[in-house]
Amino acid sequence: MKSWRVKVLHLIIVILSLCATKNEAYNQLDYNYYETTCPFLEDIVRKEMLSIIATDVSSPAAFLRLLFHDCQVQGCDASILLNSKDSEMKCSKNFGIRKFEAIGKLKFVLEAACPRQVSCADIIALAARDSVALSGGPSIQIPLGRKDSRTCSTKQADVHLPSTSIDVDQLLQIFMSKGMNLRESVAILGGHTLGGGHCINIVDRLYKPNPRDEMDPNFQLALKLGCPTKIPMTNFTVIPNDITPTIFDNQYYRDIIMGKGLFSIDSTISRDPRTMNIVNQFADDQELFFQAFSSAFVKLSSANVLTGNMGEVRLQCDQVNR
């Protein structure tokens, strides 16, 4: 009996130590992290982002998705950028993730201005943040100081990236594990207000429908016109998430209330008793959505980060330092 108690006590200590390590890493992020080492960092990133978006209006959605997919596997550590035999991009759930070359360009510019200072993980976070603001969304202040990982994992990406058939329970589990409350969890999904989805990710919903999945009939017909076959003829067709796919607004919530959500999770959060009222509030009050999204974004982009000597500042974002 005594041995059993010792084992339980040891397990509790290990769990508490892991939690303390994660909290310590989060606490080491700083809103003034680059004040002396790269004081014009945010101005440089903003200038480059304006140029990128001017030539590709779909890029804000891509940067926002890149951040989420990076943070969901190992934490916000730029592991998704690594080009190796165990690359996370080999995971099918990362289909359509892009803008790696733009992150590389930002890194090149920042290396010229502030050599060996700014991590690729911080660049991803800043690019996503500016994508929101430059698309009409809130201006969000985020703490910096993330370090880049030295590893990546296809297997971890397979395990931790959600499928397109995710339900509300799984959604809440993912975001609440990053410290978000219920309102913030619904708000962060509002990132769907930018961009769209590929046919390959919605054909099952169209041609193998769930009877409980309520979709506006005219909207369903429009989706079938865009994705006319059960097996997509091309992987390049993108269907907008809402009617304003290049503007960060609350249109996403207005659409899903009317049964015009692109993914099944969009439909279910508008009807689930835990999330329905929040969806309605965000649809009625854009500023309320912006406030909740801002706090959720800080928590998402600070999840399980590496700081100090836990990681490195890569010289090139697609490979570890040698």
- Are 151 and 313 a contacting pair, CB within 8 Å? no
> Catalytic residue among 69, 160, 192, 198, which?
69
**What are the φ and ψ backbone dihedral angles of 126, each rounded to 5 degrees?**
-70, -40
- Are 303 and 179 a contacting pair, CB within 8 Å? yes
Select from 124, 168, 131 the least CA-distant residue to 271: 168
Other beta carbons within 10 Å of 272:
18
Distance, CA of 105 to CA of 122 (rounded, Å): 14
**Is 69 noted as a catalytic residue in this protein?**
yes
Q: Which amino acid is at 96?
A: G
Select from 183, 196, 178, 197 the least CA-distant residue to 68: 178
CB-facing half-sphere around the CA of 114: CA atoms within 13 A: 22
**Residues forming the active site:** 69
